[in-house]
Amino acid sequence: MRRKTLITGGAGFLGRHLTAKLLAKGHEVLCLDNLFTGSKENIAEFRDHPHYEFIRHDVVDPFKLEVDEIYNLACPASPVHYQYNPIKTVKTSVMGAINSLGLAKRIKARIFQASTSEVYGDPEIHPQEESYRGSVNPIGLRACYDEGKRCAETLFFDYHRENAVDIRVVRIFNTYGPFMHPDDGRVVSNFIMQALRGEDITIYGNGSQTRSFCYVSDLIDGFVAFMEQNDETGPLNLGNPGEFTIRELAEKVLQKIGGRSKLVEKPLPSDDPVRRKPDITKARELLQWEPKVDLDEGLDQTIAYFRDFV
Ligand code: NAD
Ligand code: UDP
């Protein structure tokens, strides 16, 4: 029998890549998405696939399906989009987790949660390991996302303890690659599109804040390896430990694309984390997983994809 996998948020950036990987492995894939930040174009190539189905639905409302496993990815990930309607973002994270976990409990399906490095907030320890409890401002502009994801983790572990739901929780660090929305607002897509269009490259603050950028194929390999193992619930960090300042990223993108763009400084959004880098010891030991694609190679692939949008 084919393994039937539900992906909530399956029409988004990561959902699209996970779908491609699971279809290639012979799974049947059901995508459930309200198309808030995802799109039909993202999933157009799967439309006629005999083992693919798309259901337009909002995870805030309950759903009943028969599947073998669930990946819960539904949630806007870019600060621009999750702050557009912050109350809805909390509902998506929390109600979406309750509805997905309720389904997993009823049908006894293993369930994966796309959590985030944002649960560490503006971290006081560096790099961040899974045992770190985080430093999140509960009333700031990012809280709808950070606290929503923290509460979702709480729900996952309570359903696991109370109802023996078989959970896998991953904390994803900044991931980029083809099929990000060109106007998504995240830093890699912004810088590439600005450079390709010859516009100013907008550095928020002085650009000394750091991020660690993971190429999407590495992340998705980690998702599936983690979902397929039977020993660990997580939380598990997945990301690329290479750490770069935002100014270094801007310079790299500009050097690769060339053109007449200038680096300009814009106000730093509130609560913007100063630095971020995953400790991936646990993923290395458990899954023998580590990223294979470095930033240079990943940027080259991503730039090639975005050229079609200019
Ligand atoms: P994305 O915005 O491209 O995809 C999110 C998808 O969820 C979209 O297709 C959107 O339409 C859908 N969605 C949003 N609200 C919904 C709702 N109420 N009901 C149904 N569908 C809904 O973002 P992404 O980068 O693909 O992120 C996927 C998941 O991974 C998210 O949960 C995000 O928080 C998490 N994550 C991503 C990153 C990253 O760097 N890409 C980092 C940390 C965590
Ligand atoms: N950023 C920036 N210019 C942009 C978009 C983002 O300097 O056009 C910065 C942002 O302030 C943050 C980092 O890049 O410090 C990563 O931002 P992103 O929105 O991609 O993700 P975050 O890690 O903040 O959720």
pLDDT digit string, tens, across residues 287-304: 999 999 999 999 999 999
166 belongs to a structural domain:
yes
Residue 253: per-residue pLDDT: 98
How far, in Å, is the centroid of ligand 2 from the Cα of 100? 29
* Ligand 2 in reach of 272 Cβ (< 6 A): yes
134 belongs to a structural domain:
yes
| Site to substitute for ligand 1 among 75, 94, 212, most atoms within 8 A of C-beta | 75
209 belongs to a structural domain:
no
- Between helix 246-257 and helix 295-306 the angle, nearest 10°, is 60
Q: Which atom of ligand 2 is nearest to the CA of 188?
A: 20
> What whole-number distance in Å separates Cα of residue 146 and Cα of residue 138?
8
Indicate which residue of 71, 145, 176, 215 is catalytic: 145
Phi, psi at residue 128, to the nearest 5°? -90, 125
H or E element in which residue 169 lies: strand 167-172
CA 304, chain centre distance (Å) = 21
Residue 35: per-residue pLDDT: 98
* Domain carrying residue 32: 4-176+215-241+278-292
The amino acid at 277: K
165 belongs to a structural domain:
yes
How far, in Å, is the centroid of ligand 2 from the Cα of 184? 11
Closest CA to 12 of 151, 188, 179: 179
Q: Is the peptide bond before 182 cis (omega within 30 degrees of 0)?
A: no
The neighbour count for residue 152, using CB atoms within 10 Å, is 27
Q: Which atom of ligand 2 is nearest to the CA of 190?
A: 8
302 belongs to a structural domain:
no
- Positions in the chain short of pLDDT 50: none
Long-range pairs, 279-282, Cβ under 8 A, ≥24:
279/127, 279/128, 279/129, 279/130, 279/237, 279/241, 280/237, 280/238, 280/239, 280/241, 281/129, 282/129, 282/130, 282/236, 282/237
How far, in Å, is the centroid of ligand 1 from the Cα of 81? 10
| Site to substitute for ligand 2 among 204, 209, 243, most atoms within 8 A of C-beta | 204
Residue with CA closest to ligand 2 atom 13? 187
257 belongs to a structural domain:
no
252 belongs to a structural domain:
no
Q: Give the chain's domain count.
A: 1
Lookup: tokens for 34: 């309200």
Ligand 1 binding pocket (C-beta < 6 A) is 8-9, 11-15, 33-38, 58-60, 73-77, 92, 96, 114, 116, 172, 174-175
Residue 257: per-residue pLDDT: 98
Closest CA to 82 of 17, 18, 36, 134: 36
* Ligand 2 in reach of 194 Cβ (< 6 A): no
Active site residue 145: yes
CB 26 within 8 A of CB 20: no
> What whole-number distance in Å separates Cα of residue 308 and Cα of residue 310?
6
Phi, psi at residue 237, to the nearest 5°? -70, 135
Ligand nearest to the CA of 36: 1
How far, in Å, is the centroid of ligand 1 from the Cα of 153? 16
Residue 96: per-residue pLDDT: 98
68 belongs to a structural domain:
yes
CATH code of the domain in which 100 resides: 3.40.50.720
> What whole-number distance in Å separates Cα of residue 117 and Cα of residue 145?
11
- 256-277 burial: b if 16+ Cβ within 10 Å, else e: ebeeebebeeeeeeebebebbb
CB 58 within 8 A of CB 85: no
> What whole-number distance in Å separates Cα of residue 205 and Cα of residue 272?
9
> What whole-number distance in Å separates Cα of residue 238 and Cα of residue 218?
9
Residue 1: per-residue pLDDT: 82
How far, in Å, is the centroid of ligand 2 from the Cα of 126? 19
> Which one-letter DSSP state was computed for residue 121?
B
